[in-house]
Structure 1
Amino acid sequence: MARSRVLSGPVERRRFLGGLTGAAAALGLTACGVSESDDKAKDGGAEKPSGAATRSLETDNGTVKVPANPERVVVLENYDALMLLDLGIVPVGIPDGAATPQLLPKESYEQLKGVATIGASGTPNSQAIAALKPDLIIDQFYKEKSAPLKTIAPVAYFDWHTSGAFWNEQIAKLAKAVNREKELAEKKKQYEDRLAEVKTAYRKQIETTTWAPLSGGPSGKFFLGTPLVTVMRDVGLRIGAGLPEKEAGFVPKSYEEMDVLKDCDALIYSVQADGRPTPTTQALLDHKLWKGVPAVKAGRAFPSRHFVMANYTFALATVDEIEGMLKKM
C-alpha cells in the first residue's frame, strides 16, 4: 500500500505525533501533570517472576531483554496506548489525559478510561510506574526520561520523535516488542481489504478529484495537511494545495493564502471525536475567505473525526469516512 510520512517539521511533528495530549492541550483538556518523583525507583520494584521466559529485542536504545509475552505494559505516551489496543493489549499505566472522550473513539475511550495514570506526557512518575509492577515499559518520544525507568522494568524505546517514521512502521515495532505480530497482521489485512473495496467501488471519483486535509490554527492561520493524509493516499486520492508528494506536511498558512485550496475538488477538516470542531478550526469555518473557497461553496468540505492517525483502527474508521465523502462526489 502507499505510505507517506506524517509530518515534516520537528515542532509540528511533536504537536501531532507527541500524542493526543498535545491535541488535548490545544483544546484546554489536558489533565494536571504529575511531576517525576524525586525519589528513585527501587531496584526490583517490578517483582519479575523468577524463571520467566525472556527474549532479546532490538530497540533504538540497543538490545533489551524483554518478557517473551509481556502482560503488564506501561506506556509513556497516548499513541503507545492506542497502538497496544490494536494488538489486543490494554496497558496497565498510561499518561494523564490519555483517556479523553473528546479525542478518542468511544471504544478506545472505554478501554482506557479506568487505567491508572503515571504522570503527564514527558514527565513520568517513577513511583507511580513502579507501583503498577510492569513487566515492560514502552516509549516512543522521551528517551532521556524513560532510560532511568529500566530499574523498574525493561524499557523498549522506538524513536518516533525525530525518526520521520511512518505510523504503520511504528506499530510494527511495538507488535514485535509485545509479541503480537499475528494480531497486527490481522488488523493490517482488514485495512488492506477495506482499501480494496473502496478503491474498486469509487474508482471514478478517486481518479477524477483532488483533495486536501486541513485544520484550524492560532492567530489567523490554518494548517495544511494532517496525519490522515496517509490514509487518503492509501485510498488513492490525489492530494492538491501544494502538499509535497511523499509528505503529510503540516504547513502553516495565513487566511490570506486560502486561495491555495482552489485546485481542490474536496476538503477534509478535522473535528474532535464528538464531532465538534476545535475553537481554532471553528474560527476557520466561520471565516468569510473559507466560505468563498470553491470546494466549500460546492458543499464538498467534509469533517473527519480521525485526523490523528494512531493505529489501524483509526485508519479503518478513516476509510469509512472517506467512503461516505466519495458517495457525495
Structure 2
Amino acid sequence: MTSPNRLLLSAPRRAAQALAAVGAAALLLTGCGSDSDKGKDEAKTEAGGGGTRTIKDATGTAVKVPANPKRIVTLTQEDLDAVLALGLKPVGITNGQGLNKPPAYLEDKVKGINVVGNLLQPVMDKVIAAKPDLILAGDMQDQQVLKQLREITPATLVTMAPTDDWKLSFRGIANAVNSMDKANKVISDYEAKAKKTGEELGDNKGAEVSIVRWNPDGPSWMEKKQFASGVALDMGLKRPKAQDKDGNAHTPALSLEKINEIDGDWLFLSTLTADGEKALKDVQEKPAYKELNAVKKNHAVTVNGSVWSTRGGPLASLAVIDDIAKALKK
C-alpha cells in the first residue's frame, strides 16, 4: 500500500465525460452474492446481521458492500448530507466545499466526528484510523486515490456522476447502506415541503429567481438543473428568461457589461472563497450593479455558497427552501 502518511492532492471536482452515461443510477441496480456464488439473488446473511451485498457504483463498477455498514467514511459533503438524512452517523468526514471545516448547516450534526481531510483530499492515515467498512467517495476521479482507498476497504464507492441530480445520488447512497425505504420517504417529505412553501409565498408565488455564484472574475448564473435551481423550481418558482437553460453547471464568469443577465424579480448571491466575497463587495458599489431591478427593489439576497453552490442533498435542499421562504415572505 502507498504510504498512509501521504496527504493526497485535490482530485478534479467534475468527472470525465465518459462517466456521465453511466450515472449514479447504476447504484440502484442491486445484485447480491457471496465469495463462493456471485450469481445468487440474495445476499449471504450471517448471524448478527452480517453478510454482504453487491451493487454497482456511479461508474458501473460492481462493489461488494456490507449488508448493514457500521463504520462509514464520507469524502464529500453531499455524501455526508445523505448519510445524516438517513439517520446514520459516519465515523469520518471531510471539510466542506471551499471550507477548512465541516459545512455550517451540518455543524450541529457532526460534532465529535473525526475529520479525515478536505473535500476529496483524504489523509490516508486518518482514513485508516477510522477503520471504515464503507467509504463514500463522491465524484472522485483520481484512480490512484481510489486504489489506495480500496486497499483500506474494497467497499469504496463513487457515488456521483456529472449529470446526476441530488435525488438520484441520494437514492444510490441509500441503496448502498440498505435504506431505500427511508430515502423514498425523505424525498417525498422534501417534495411536499417544497410545494407547500412555494404556495405560501403570497405575491411572490411563481416569481423569477436569479441564482448566482460570485467568483473572483465575476458572476456566474446557475443553469436550471443545478441543485439550488432545482429546489426553486420544485417550489413553483421560475428562472429569468436569460437563465432558462438546461444543464447542471455554472456559466463562465460574466463581464460587467453583461451583468444584466443576472437580473430577476429576486437575486440570490453566493460565494465560495474570500476572493469571491471581495469581488462581490467591490461590484456592489458600481452603478451597473445598483441599476439591476432586483437590487433597486431590495430583492438581492446573500446566501451560503457552501449550501447553494454544491451538488446538494436532502438536508441542503431544506436549507435552500428556508432561505427562499425567509426572503420572499418578507
TM-score category, normalised to shorter length = 0.7 to 0.9
* TM-score using structure 1 length: 0.73
Structure 1 residues 191-210: Cα deviation after superposition (integer angstroms, max 9, x where no partner):
12212212333376333x32
Partners of 2:49 and 2:196 in 1: CA distance = 48
8 Å CA contact 2:166, 2:314 repeated in 1: no
Give how far 1:214 is off. 0.9
- Kept in 1, the 8 Å contact 2:215–2:271? The answer is no
The equivalent residue for 1:32 is none
The superposition leaves residues 76-114 of structure 1 with CA deviations (integer Å, 9 ceiling, x where unpaired) of 223222221111122111225678568421xx1122243
Amino acid at match of 1:81: L
- The equivalent residue for 2:324 is 322
CA distance in 2, matches of 1:76, 1:132: 13
Determine if the alignment matches structure 1 residue 290 to structure 2 residue 289.
Answer: yes
In 2: Cα distance, 1:58 partner to 1:126 partner:
24
Query: Judging changes above 3 Å, is the alpha-carbon distance between structure 1 residues 58 and 247 closer, same or farther for their aligned structure 2 residues?
Result: same
Change (3 A) 1:210 1:120: closer
Residues in 2 aligned to 1:115 and 1:301: alpha-carbon distance in whole angstroms:
36
Matched residue, 2:73: 74
Q: Where does residue 158 of structure 2 map in the other structure?
A: 158
Give distance in 1, aligned partners of 2:132 and 2:102.
Answer: 28
Q: 1-side partners of 2:134 and 2:295: how far apart?
A: 48
Structure 2 CA distance for partners of 1:150 and 1:114, relative to 1, 3 Å:
same
Instruction: Report the 3-state secondary structure (helix = DSSP H, G, I; strand = E; otherwise coil) of the residue aligned with 1:131.
Output: helix
CA contact (8 A) 2:120 2:137 kept: no
Aligned-partner Cα distance in 1 for 2:191–2:119: 32
CA deviation after TM superposition for structure 1 residue 257, in Å: 1.0
Q: Measure how far apart 1:13 and its partner are.
A: 5.3
Counterpart of 1:247 in structure 2 is 247
Which consecutive unaligned segments of at least 5 residues does structure 1 have?
1-10, 15-48
In the alignment, structure 1 residue 223 sits paired with structure 2 residue 225: no
* Shift of residue 185, structure 1, vs aligned partner: 2.3
TM-score w.r.t. structure 2 length? Answer: 0.73
Aligned counterparts, 1:255-274, within 5 A? 255-262=256-263, 264-270=264-270
Q: Equivalents in 2 of 1:266, 1:102: separation in Å?
A: 29
- The one-letter amino acid paired with 1:222 is P
Q: Deviations over 1:9-64 (max 9, x none)?
A: xx8858xxxxxxxxxxxxxxxxxxxxxxxxxxxxxxxxxx9993211112225222
CA shift, 1:227, in A, is 3.5
Counterpart in 1 of 2:43?
A: none
- Judged with a 3 Å threshold, the aligned counterparts in structure 2 of structure 1 residues 195 and 159 are, in CA distance, closer, same or farther, namely closer
Q: Taking structure 1 as reference, are residues 268 and 248 closer, same or farther at Cα in structure 2, changes over 3 Å only?
A: farther
Contact 1:147 1:155 in 2 (8 A): no
**Alpha-carbon distance change, 81 to 103 in structure 1, aligned in 2, over 3 angstroms:** closer
Secondary structure of 2:243's counterpart equals coil
Change (3 A) 1:100 1:318: same
The equivalent residue for 1:313 is 315
- Residues 1-329 of structure 1 mapped to structure 2, 5 A cutoff: 52-59=50-57, 60-96=59-95, 103-105=103-105, 108-143=106-141, 144=143, 145-158=145-158, 160=160, 162-202=161-201, 205-207=204-206, 209-219=207-217, 221-225=218-222, 227-240=227-240, 242-251=242-251, 252-262=253-263, 264-270=264-270, 278-305=277-304, 306-309=307-310, 310-328=312-330
In structure 2, distance between residues paired with 1:284 and 1:215: 13
- What is the one-letter code of the residue matched to 2:79? D
Runs of 4 or more above 6 Å deviation = none
**Residue identity (%):** 24
- CA distance 1:51–1:303, change in 2 (3 Å): closer
* 2:25 counterpart residue number: none
Q: RMSD value over aligned CA atoms? A: 2.9
Retained in 1: the 8 A contact 2:213–2:270?
yes
1:178 and 1:250, CA in 2 relative to 1: closer, same or farther beyond 3 A?
same
Unaligned segments of structure 2, at least 5 residues: 1-11, 16-46
